Structure 1
Amino acid sequence: MKAAITALLFVLSSAAWAHGDVQCPKHPKEEWRSHEELQRKLEKDGWTIRRMELTPTCYEVYAKDPQGNRIEAFFDPKTFERVED
């Protein structure tokens, strides 16, 4: 039982770091657009936002895309371009 719990914790912690390599271009904070503006843009494009987080260089978005797929996506906070890892 202990081995199963340890394996589960390892898998969950690995998933949490799955996108640890995503780096948006670095912009001064004063050039960042607001996350509210990004949310409005994505909702206009048909996304359903579950939550948004701030990384050191990106906006991280947990949402459903227009096709209803649950996704985690990263966006450049200045240009709102989607950043892939």
Structure 2
Amino acid sequence: MIQRIIPAGAIALLALTAGSAWAHGDVKCPAHPKEEWKSHEELAKKLTAEGWVIRRMEKTATCYEVYAKDPKGKRIEAFFDPKTFERVEE
């Protein structure tokens, strides 16, 4: 019985990690030196002032990734250039 649980657990773990890899798609922000990046707190203030409700923010190698509800209330995953705060589309 244990032999069946381990493969099922491994498959579930693989499916979860593969799903997160697909979430990013082909989003590529311009590469800027880290010292040119504005803080993610500044981005949060900007988006909140525009009506976004931020759930979570993360830093990728070249972007800020934001999980939020946009001003229309739609759940969204968006990427922003950390130097200009321009939204980067896939």
Structure 1 alignment gaps of length 5 or more: none
Q: Could you tell me which of 23, 29, 45 is aligned with 2:28?
A: 23
Structure 2 alignment gaps of length 5 or more: none
* Bigger helix fraction: 2
Deviation, structure 1 residue 22: 1.4
Moved over 3 A (4+): 1-6, 8-14
Deviation, structure 1 residue 30: 0.9
14-23 or 32-41: bigger deviation: 14-23
Work out the CA distance in 1 between the residues paired with 2:13 and 2:72. Answer: 31
Aligned length in residues: 84
Q: Does 1:14 align with 2:18?
A: yes
Compute the TM-score of the two structures, normalised by the length of structure 2.
0.79
Letter in 2 for 1:27: H
Deviation, structure 1 residue 69: 0.8
CA RMSD of aligned residues (A): 1.9
Q: Does 1:49 align with 2:54?
A: yes
Q: Secondary structure at the match of 1:73?
A: strand
Q: Give the greater-gyration-radius structure (CA).
A: 2
Work out the CA distance in 2 between the residues paired with 1:48 and 1:15. Answer: 24
Compute the TM-score of the two structures, normalised by the length of structure 1.
0.84
Deviation, structure 1 residue 42: 0.2
